[in-house]
Structure 1
Amino acid sequence: MPLLTLKIDADTYRGTREGVPNLVRLLTKYQARATFLFSLGPDHTGWALKQVFRPGFFSKVSRTSVVEHYGLKTLMYGVLLPAPDIGKTCASYMQAVQTAGFECGIHTWDHRVWQDHVRQRDAAWTQATMQRAFDRFKHVFGVAPRTHGAAGWQMNPFAFEQLETFNIAYSSDGRAMLTDAGDLADPAAGPHRLSVNGKTLQCIQLPTTLPTLDELLGRSFNGTELDASNIAAHILKLTAEPRDHVFTLHAELEGQKLAPIFEQLLQGWRAQGYDLVSMEDYYQQVKNQTLPTLPLTWAELPGRSGEMIMQPINNSTCGS
């Protein structure tokens, strides 16, 4: 049975308080497993206004209503309103996910700061920021994290090395390259290890292999614009041929306004014969396999602005 790994990013205060509980209920209804990755520090979502200067930002905003999905108040955090500390104020919401039996891991400390700046930061800043998230996770959950998923698929070499220090066994920090239609550009894309600064890291990377809803909404394919009425069918076409996949969803989107679309996907994936699993489940299946060792690579994806960690195509060497 092919595995479809559900990786849930909780980026914001509102998403953690409202979207996360909604997703727990929905996943429980369909007996689906998933991994929730939490932002554990302040919510500076309002600082995203600086992205207006990035190529591709306006096209994305025109396709997806940022205000509708995130809420005006969230877009003011760190600008006109104080940034709420998610880990302090939402600890009970996070613990409820753990109690419900779902895997929990680290997304980041401050989503906005990490996504915008980590690529240019040095070792000291990177290690200190990740240590804050690690310590907060242990405080909230009472155990050390086993997994991680980078905010905005943004990392640097020091961050990957820090995952080794934390003994993170498996992580989902990057993407698999997609075609304009959302298909995998490399059919062999999937679990791998990274070579960073000449060293093969032990942490197994489980890259996202499907486009996200916000990357597809409002775009046209074969003359048809994707909206709430047909986007689930489009994604289900991408998963019609059985193979393991990782799908990233967001507590702010699929946990709120886009929940009906996510429910259609859950129903469709069940009908296609997928086992809906957590990152840990996927890791247990692949951990003893001989996986490729790949270089740290950056590239852009259709529907999303800026470069992100990308699994390279046909550029691997076998590693242990």
Structure 2
Amino acid sequence: MALIALKVDVDTLRGTRDGVPALAAFLRGAGAGASFLFSLGPDHTGRAVLRVLRPGFLSKVSRTSVVEHYGVRTLLYGTLLPGPDIGRIAATTLRDVEAAGFEVGVHCWDHVRWQDQLLAHDAPWALREMRRATDRYATLFGTPARLHGAAGWQFNEAAAQAQAELGITLASDTRGSHPFQPVFGGRVTGPPQLPTTLPTLDELIGLDGMTLDDVVAHVLSLTVDRTRDQVFTLHAELEGMKLLPVLRRLVDGWRAQGHDLVSLGALRAHHSDRAWPLHEVHLGSVPGRSGLLAVQGPRVA
């Protein structure tokens, strides 16, 4: 029997306040495990307008109706409107998710800042940014953060070093095919990675003319193999809101295929008796998503 780990990225205040409770209620009712990774500092979503310069960004916007999913107000945060502090405003919501029995972890401090600037800065910058998030996590939950999933799959050696220094023991920062230990410059750096293995819904919708029905069928076609574990990333702003009916269909389909839906921690425990292969991490592209992401590279002999 294969496991599918559900990784919930929470990027915005709107996603936290509206999408997270809806997702948690649905998943709990479905008996599904999941890991919720929170943005814990300011919501500066409006500053993401700079991404219009990236190849593929405008086509993605036109396919996925960004304004419809995120809302006009969210798209003004950090520009015409001040960026609200998610961790302070929505602290009760975050704690409620943990109280409901879900695994919780760190997504980032400032989503736009990490996604757009990590690769242009040095190791001290990465450590400062990640420390802000882990300090806020400890304040909110009363325990140190142990799980991290990078905003926008932006991840490099500096981020891996920061994870090691801050006590992160499990991460899902990359795209790939199977669990691995990350290697940079010939050195094992940072905790094990459980990469996202399946395409996300926003990457598929409208790609090559795919409808919502096509998207569900396509994802389910990738999970027919009941011997292969998977990690599926969803977003509170999407699957927790307008795309919740699509997620319901996926969950029903995965159940029919015989999969168990679990947290990242449960997936790691499932692999605890196996040797973690060593793989380089490099920057690469993913169909349907703009820019470069951290991708599982070749295996290191």
CA distance in 2, matches of 1:62, 1:126: 32
CA RMSD in angstroms, aligned pairs only:
1.1
Compute the TM-score of the two structures, normalised by the length of structure 1: 0.92
* Counterpart in the other structure of 2:294: 309
Match of 1:266 among 218, 228, 251: 251
Mapped partners of 2:255, 2:27: distance in 1: 12
Would the aligned equivalents of 1:204 and 1:287 in 2 still touch at CA under 8 Å? no
Letter in structure 1 aligned against 2:221: K
Which contiguous aligned blocks of 4+ residues in structure 1 show a shift greater than 3 angstroms?
Answer: none
Displacement of 1:219? 1.4
CA distance in 2, matches of 1:135, 1:89: 16
Q: TM-score of the superposition, structure 2-length normalised?
A: 0.97
Asked whether the equivalents of residues 41 and 86 of structure 2 are also in contact (C-alpha less than 8 Å), the reply is yes
**2:165 counterpart residue number:** 165
Structure 2: distance between partners of 1:152 and 1:236: 24
**Aligned equivalents of 2:190 and 2:158: distance in 1?**
15
Match of 2:225 in 1: 241
- What is the rounded CA distance, in whole Å, between the counterparts of 1:67 and 1:75 in structure 2? 7
Q: Please say if residues 34 and 279 of structure 1, whose CA atoms lie closer than 8 Å, have aligned partners that are also in contact.
A: yes
Correspondence 1:145 to 2:145: yes
Q: Find the residue that maps to 1:175 and give its secondary structure.
A: coil
Taking the aligned partners of 1:138 and 1:173, their CA distance within structure 2 comes to: 20
Q: Does 1:214 align with 2:202?
A: yes
Equivalent AA in structure 1 for residue 181 of structure 2: R
**Pairs aligned (count):** 300
Name the structure 2 match of 1:185: none
What is the aligned-residue identity percentage?
50
Structure 2 CA distance for partners of 1:82 and 1:295, relative to 1, 3 Å: same
Match of 1:292 among 268, 277, 292: 277
Q: Kindly indicate whether residue 219 of structure 2 is the aligned counterpart of residue 231 of structure 1.
A: no
Q: Deviations over 1:249-297 (max 9, x none)?
A: 0000000000000000011001100010000001111133112111121
Distance 1:119 1:247 in 2: 25
- In the other structure, the counterpart of 2:106 is 106
The answer to whether 1:196 aligns with 2:202 is no
SS at match of 1:305: strand
Indicate conservation of the 8 Å contact 1:219/1:226, yes or no. yes
For the 8 Å contact 2:280–2:300, the answer to whether it is kept is: no
Aligned to 1:256: 241
Q: Distance in 2 between matches of 1:303 and 1:233?
A: 17
Matching residue's letter, 2:254: W
Q: What amino acid is the match of 2:161?
A: E
Letter in 2 for 1:263: R
5+ residue gaps in structure 1? Answer: 177-188
Question: Structure 1 counterpart of 2:286, which letter?
Answer: L
- Per residue, is there more helix in 1 or in 2? 2
Q: CA deviation at 1:168?
A: 1.6
Instruction: Check the 8 A contact 2:157/2:189 in 1, yes or no.
Output: no
Task: Give 5+ residue unaligned stretches, structure 2.
Answer: none
How far did residue 227 of structure 1 move? 1.9
The worse-fitting range, judged by mean Cα deviation, of 24-33 and 226-235 is 226-235
**Conserved 8 A contact 1:193-1:291:** yes
Match of 1:179 in 2: none
